[in-house]
Chains A and B, each alone.
Chain A
Amino acid sequence: MAIDVFWRIPTHGEPSSLRNKLHHRGDWSQQEGDHIVHKGLSGGHGDGFTNLDYIAEVARAAEISGFQGGLIPSFPMTDEPWAISSFLARETSTFRFMIAFQPGFLNPVVAARMTASLQRATRGRALFNVITGGGGPAQLWWGDVAPHDDRYARTTEFLDVLRGVWSGNSFSYQGKFYQVENAALPAQLLGQDFPEIYFSGSSDAALASASKHAEYYLSWLEPFDQLRDKFDRVKERTAALGRKIKCAVRVDIIARRTEEEAWREVRRGFENLDDAARERYKRFAQQTGDSVGASRQRSTAPKELNDYRDFIIHPNVWSGLSLLRGGQTQGIIGSYEQVAERLDDLVRLGADAFILASTPHLEEAYRVGEEVLPLVRGHDSAPALRAVG
């Protein structure tokens, strides 16, 4: 079984380098020099380009450099993955659109028709990153009122209905959240591949839902031993329910010709941290809260921002990335060979797919596709390891 490697679409724009945050691409940083597209190039009028044109460049770079496609995340402040996918369907050839969304926001019958149409528009290149989301005020911002404790049950029901109408046979369903009567996709939309599902969420309720519907269980990078345990647990639980599930890791990387050059990127970014970022970190390090994941991160995090090397928690793994940009804290830093080796380490401990990212996503898609991916052995590396011990 060969592994699949995806890239990521920077839906909230990005700086042109992790070294500093000036020259931000896209209109998200709200500062002078925003947006690679300069409004008014054509005599004071709009120039006809939008941030989608940059996103299109990244998607094409990803497909040209050998990635399967890209994760298109969804945040309150960013453009929507369904929209991006339909707009770029025709402009790309092999790029697979991994749409992040919360099932609760859509009627599942409509979602089935959207999905089948997108499969037709892209010739089968749509897949999902199903997020279930928290409860409370954050969900209400989205207009989602389902009670907190039921949300995974609703995700399961949503996917039940999506699959149910997919066959084209008359489908009825009496769930707690969704009911349908004699529903089916129209003939014109039948016969498309059902989208692969990447599923996130760690609780028992999440695993129960994942084990029924997901092809891949998706996790951020965690300390390697911890990740191995997590993947083992997911695979065991799913096997107990008579199904197989694969595992995927979503991780940022900084790969350069030499390890020294890679760490230089980190060091420059670390030295250029502004006061606001330092203040944010201080608050984070002193915080107390009830989130298990967050407190686990804090327990290993340095109390002060003295040296970037204090954040190295494993060979080639740096846990300070969230200082340089939003998102997860841990990333893989090293030479092309080292990064490929760490990815192969992750394959050995259970990963079957990756969603990689690096800033800026356009140039880095080419670099990673040309320099790192050709060195990754995938499951071919597994027997060698077993022979050693």
Chain B
Amino acid sequence: MTVQFFWQVPTAGDGRYADAEKHIRGERADSRPYFLPGVTDPRGQRFNYFDHLHQIAKAVELAKFDGIKVRNDPEGDESWIVAGYLSRATRYLTVLAEFDASRGSAVYAAKNAVSYQRFTEGRFAWQIGVEPDEAKRRQQGDFVAQADLYPRVEEFVTVARNVITTTGYDFNGRFFQVLQGGFQGPLSGQKVPPVYLSGETDEAYALSAKLADVHVLDAQPLDKIASNIAQLRNLARSHHRALQIGLRVDVLVRETEEEAVFDAKRYAEQTGQKTIDNNVAGLWQGLTTASTGASAVLVGSFEQVTERLAAFADAGVEQFILGAVPSLEEAYRIGEYVLPSLRSLINGASQRAA
């Protein structure tokens, strides 16, 4: 099994090196000149944040990641639009778009997914998220009951998969209905986008065991991740299935540990986060940036972070969804200083095991 590395693009704004302030690179908050009057500015209003997202996607591909993850962030640009825009900018990357099951008809979502598959020659994947906060759901026009969140995801995935793979499909569920569904002609026979699910509750695990291709875990210490993986695998076995394990973690990597820790601390100070005292093996839990949504950051030198990621791979993680700020610059840094040694470390380990 080849381990895969995704890079998460920041849809709600990016940052700068060790700088907590959010920046929408490429566009201005107002019409005030950006340079002082003594310097001409040739840009005018020609660029906006999508130009930056495009740059990030190109960087991710050049840095030899396997895929790009587009987060569903209600504070940012919409993930399907960003995913389509970036799909056309890339040749090989898997494009993983996250969204919520409240987005509308499962058939219509599946039909759009088929077009994404046709246009990318099968590079599209989707992650169906769940918004646990009721007030936030209502802001999104979603009045579903708390207890129905995962049952709705289950129906969504069931309907979407079946209309892509079969014809004459009938389904009469609580959230989705379809009559004689299924795509024909050139829309038929497309690959179902791999289904990524996430969540740390028993309910989330149970659903993933039943129907996820990949379950994405939040970053936690290695032993906790190992036991979560065991739990998920056991549950999946009870359904006679296997699933892959993903890990969503941010990285803050510098040439030396000292530099990395310095930047991490400065970042924590800027955001008013307390000195981190619960970091284990370089995993700074709770050091989060508003725009990435990760639960922890791996902080350390190139070698340290490489080894720690390899340890997670050793514990069973097969898909890493990494993120860092600023996204473009750090994609190159990880691609140049971490991925090559990490890949050879993981491949070496798997060859020895074989």
Contact = CB atoms under 8 A, between A and B. Distances in A.
Interface string A218-246: 00000000000000000000000000000
A137 to B, nearest CB: 6
A48 B135 contact: no
- Category for how many chain B residues contact A: 35 or more
Contact of B80 (A84, A86, A181, A188): A86
Contacts of B107: 105, 141-143
A48 B121 contact: yes
A114 B108 contact: no
A87 interface: yes
Contacts of A123: 48
Nearest to A184: B139
Nearest to A136: B179
Interface in A133-155: 137, 140-145
B108 A86 contact: no
A82 B80 CA distance: 9
B150 interface: no
Contacts of B80: 82-83, 86, 114
B49 A88 contact: no
Interface in A288-339: none
A120 B77 contact: yes
Name the residue among B49, B77, B91, B176 with the largest chain A CB count within 10 angstroms.
B77
Given A137-B179, A143-B108, A181 B84 contact: no
Given A30-B185, A180-B141, A186-B12, A106 B121 contact: no
A86 B84 contact: yes
Contacts of A90: 50, 54, 85, 88-89
A89 B85 contact: yes
A379 to B, nearest CB: 31
A167 interface: no
Contacts of A82: 80-81, 84, 112
Given A110-B102, A182-B139, A137 B76 contact: no
B88 A87 contact: yes
Contacts of A107: 102-104, 140-142
A106 to B, nearest CB: 4
Nearest to B46: A123
A79 to B, nearest CB: 4
A161 B142 CA distance: 13
A284 interface: no
A108 B180 contact: no
Contacts of B104: 105-107, 110-111
B141 A108 contact: yes
B289 to A, nearest CB: 16
A309 to B, nearest CB: 34
A97 to B, nearest CB: 11
Nearest to B13: A188
Nearest to B51: A90
A363 interface: no
B75 interface: yes
B347 interface: no
A362 interface: no
Interface in B170-216: 176-181, 183-187
B279 to A, nearest CB: 32
A184 B163 CA distance: 33
B151 interface: no
B85 A87 contact: yes
A132 to B, nearest CB: 15
Contact of A86 (B83, B135, B141, B186): B83
Contact of B81 (A30, A121, A141): A121
B119 A83 contact: yes
Interface string A174-216: 0000111111101011000000000000000000000000000
B115 interface: yes
B111 interface: yes
Nearest to A56: B88
Interface in B80-132: 80-85, 87-89, 91, 99-100, 102-108, 111-112, 114-116, 118-119, 121
Interface in A239-262: none
Interface string B32-70: 000000000000000011100010000000000000000
B12 A188 contact: yes
Contacts of A140: 177-181
Given A77-B187, A140-B179, A143-B159, A110 B140 contact: yes
B140 A79 contact: no
A143 B81 contact: no
19 contacts: A76-B183, A76-B184, A83-B84, A86-B81, A86-B84, A86-B85, A91-B88, A105-B104, A107-B103, A110-B78, A113-B74, A114-B81, A116-B77, A143-B107, A143-B163, A145-B177, A182-B138, A186-B76, A188-B13
Given A27-B186, A84-B119, 9 more contacts: A79-B114, A83-B80, A83-B116, A86-B82, A109-B139, A110-B103, A117-B81, A141-B179, A161-B141
Interface of A: 26-28, 30, 46, 48, 50-52, 76-80, 82-91, 104-111, 113-114, 116-118, 120-121, 123, 137, 140-145, 161, 178-184, 186, 188-189
